[in-house]
Amino acid sequence: MKRMGLVLLTLLVVGATGCSTTQPEPVVIEVTCERFASDPDEQTVINRHVQVQQGGEIILRLCEIPGTGFQWQDAEISDSTVVVERLRESLPPDSNAAPGSPEMEQWTFQAVGKGSCTIGFSYDRPWVGGEQGAWQFNLYVTVA
């Protein structure tokens, strides 16, 4: 009788875990200030391509230097039926970093539908007459 109970318990555990769905790990893309500042006399444009499963997440981190007046503008998503923005936050530098050290701006996107889209970013001084597009980043997304 104990053996029968053990067999039933094993079947329940195997059945329950066999039906669970696990979310895929998010795709993480990080671009440092050194990568953007490769030639300070020219506008820097970086393009990346990523493929993600429907329902998956993309985490994008772009360098930002406080105190320069530059900041990343809102993400421009070409097709919001493919990807939507879920969260935007600033990640502070390490507590040991000097004042004015680079920080990371982080976006979390969710792949909501199959297809392709582009997510564009511009690093600007947002006031009237301020420098526009000093750095640009384009993320080409394919959702399968």
All structural domains of the chain, each given as residue ranges with its CATH number in brackets, are 24-143 (2.60.40.2020)
98-103 average pLDDT score: 84
Task: Give the confidence band of 11 by pLDDT, cuts at 50, 70, 90.
Answer: very low
Separation of alpha carbons 135 and 46, rounded Å = 8
User: Which of the 8 DSSP states describes residue 4?
Assistant: H
The label of the residue with tokens 């980043």 reads 137
Residue 53 sits at the vertex; the CA angle it makes with 49 and 58, to the nearest 5 degrees, is 55
Separation of alpha carbons 46 and 138, rounded Å = 6
Separation of alpha carbons 139 and 144, rounded Å = 16
Cβ atoms of 43 and 136 within 8 Å: the answer is yes
Query: Residue 131 above 80 pLDDT?
Result: yes
Res 12: pLDDT: 44
Nearest Cα neighbor of 110 from 54, 39, 31, 48 is 54
Percent of the chain scored above 90 by pLDDT? Answer: 59
49-58 average pLDDT score: 97
Sign of CA dihedral 92, 93, 95, 101: negative
Cβ atoms of 112 and 21 within 8 Å: the answer is no
Task: Give the confidence band of 24 by pLDDT, cuts at 50, 70, 90.
Answer: confident
Cβ atoms of 27 and 60 within 8 Å: the answer is no
Q: In whole numbers, what is the pLDDT of the chain averaged over residues?
A: 85
Task: Give the confidence band of 7 by pLDDT, cuts at 50, 70, 90.
Answer: very low
pLDDT in tens, 63-73: 999 889 999 99
**Where are the alpha helices (H) located in the chain, listed in sequence order?**
2-19, 33-36
Res 94: pLDDT: 80
Bigger pLDDT: 133 or 37? Answer: 133
Bigger pLDDT: 109 or 5? Answer: 109
